[in-house]
Amino acid sequence: MAASVVQQLKKLPRHPVRGIRYLFRWAEFRLRPAETEEKLKKDAQRYWNAPGTELLNQYSHWRGAGIFADEDLWLALGRRNLELYRQFCRMLGVSTSPRRIVEWGCGGGANAVHFASLAETYIGIDVTRPSLLECARQLDAVGFRNFKPVLIDAGAPETALTQITEKCDLFLATYVFEVFPTPDYGLHVLQIARKLLNDGGMAIIQIRFISESWSSQPRRFAYKRHFTGNAYRVEVFWDEAEKCGFVPQAVRLLPYDKLNKNTNYAYFLLST
């Protein structure tokens, strides 16, 4: 332990305040006990349903909120994901459009405004009613009228299965697995995703991947401060997807995202 502390001291930033903050985060990660999944679920539900602020709306990808006052940036997020979907389709030789798309964590509709025109029905799942209303508003603005909102509690993600009665062709989840309470919770949602999809369907799921740095490891405490702290090893997520009945086809790594300045992104293409 002492040797490990010495190593971290050598890595401290030269700026004293930043150095103290770095050392505190490292010590907390090493020494703080993990909280239960039930507590983290409740904390997540409470966090995302707090009174709306510009920052919270930014994290939920609302048009015009925070950094998304830059209209081009907001549009670029979903447009890039749509292009990735098209690249994956070409890779698999898929030429037909999905009739029903389900997005887990639709937020303010940054993906929906680009993907919805491909489908007859677009289903958005979220843990907050305001985000579902905002997603519906954005889709209405682009002329899409067949949006199906699905409100769930973070503590009971499986209730999505009782609200979505028809199988879907495309499951989409970006910028959301990283905010799940725990890795096991994300794997539970992965199982739900497989149940929501038709045979011959496709899933595109983005995660944060674990690198050699301790700071990329999952957090299991203080959800409000570490709400983007969920992560997986790439090969583990691949294997877990297979266990759920998916056929992993490809993974694209994005070590640094120039659009939102985040790191360690992995986009999985899974077929059924």
- pLDDT tens digits, one per residue of 134-159: 999 999 999 999 999 999 999 999 99
Q: What's the pLDDT at 13? A: 57
For residue 147, list its beta bridge partners: 122
Q: Parse the chain into domains and list their residue ranges.
A: 1-31, 35-271
Q: What's the pLDDT at 218? A: 86
Find, among 165, 171, 201, the residue nearest to 189 by Cα: 171
CA distances from 137 to 73, 133, 141, 214 (A): 19, 6, 6, 41
Higher pLDDT, 231 or 51: 231
Band (pLDDT 50/70/90 cuts) for residue 6 is very low
Band (pLDDT 50/70/90 cuts) for residue 43 is very high
What's the pTM value of the predicted model, to 2 decimals?
A: 0.90
Confidence check: pLDDT of 8 > 50? no
Amino acid at 110: A
Band (pLDDT 50/70/90 cuts) for residue 48 is very high
Q: What is the mean pLDDT of residues 22-46?
A: 85
CATH class of 35-271: alpha beta
pLDDT digit string, tens, across residues 171-230: 999 999 999 999 999 999 999 999 999 999 999 999 999 988 887 888 888 899 888 989
Collect contacts of 243-251 with beta carbons under 8 A, ≥24 apart. 244/187, 244/190, 244/191, 244/193, 244/194, 245/194, 245/272, 246/190, 246/194, 246/203, 246/270, 246/271, 246/272, 247/271, 247/272, 249/88, 249/91, 249/92, 250/88, 250/91
Higher pLDDT, 195 or 3: 195
82 backbone dihedrals φ, ψ, rounded to 5°:
-65, -40
Distance, CA of 119 to CA of 90 (rounded, Å):
18
Q: What's the pLDDT at 215? A: 77
Confidence check: pLDDT of 242 > 70? yes
Sign of the alpha-carbon dihedral angle for 174, 226, 182, 207: positive
Distance, CA of 149 to CA of 158 (rounded, Å):
15
197 backbone dihedrals φ, ψ, rounded to 5°:
-95, 145
Q: What's the pLDDT at 15? A: 55
